[in-house]
Amino acid sequence: MNIQNLAYALDQSIHNLGAVMVTGGSILALVDLEKRKRLAWITLSGWALQGATGALFGILSYSFYGHLPDIAGIAVDALVIKMICAVSGFFIAAYCLKGARAESVVFWRMEAFLALVAIISAAFLRWYS
């Protein structure tokens, strides 16, 4: 078994689970009013996973190749958009929890929008890298 492929596959698997948490949590919160507080924690955790596993992709590349992934153009733009979505989504979810604003539909619309933009950006990052 190739340890490099295993490392990337495990990181990608966890990254995908984070995407499910963020997207599913935020969309479900738009319709399930009673579980919004719990969904805020799930969404916050999902964004944290997205950030950590995204950084781990770079760390793995640097460890195995001695440099960060060689991406340019649209792939860089997509990566920046994903990073902005992850940071923004994390802080929106944290703010939602801190101020007990988990019931606000505006926050959940923003979270769902950021989650969808991040997923679409991931497709562009994958295709153009």
Residue-wise pLDDT tens digits, 61-114 = 999 999 888 899 999 999 999 999 999 999 999 988 887 676 788 899 999 999
Pairwise CA distance, residues 57 & 11, whole Å: 7
Which DSSP category does 99 fall into? T
**pTM surpassing 0.85?**
yes
Pairwise CA distance, residues 107 & 44, whole Å: 12
Per-residue confidence (pLDDT) for residue 98, from 0 to 100: 83
Q: Which of 23, 34, 10 is nearest to 103 (CA)?
A: 34
Structure tokens at 62: 């640097």
**Domains assigned to the chain:** 3-128 (1.20.120)
Mean pLDDT of 1-7: 90
Pairwise CA distance, residues 84 & 62, whole Å: 22
Per-residue confidence (pLDDT) for residue 100, from 0 to 100: 67
* Per-residue pLDDT reduced to its tens digit, 32-69: 888 888 999 999 999 999 999 999 999 999 999 998 88
Whether the Cβ atoms of residue 43 and residue 108 lie closer than 8 Å to each other = no
Per-residue confidence (pLDDT) for residue 60, from 0 to 100: 95
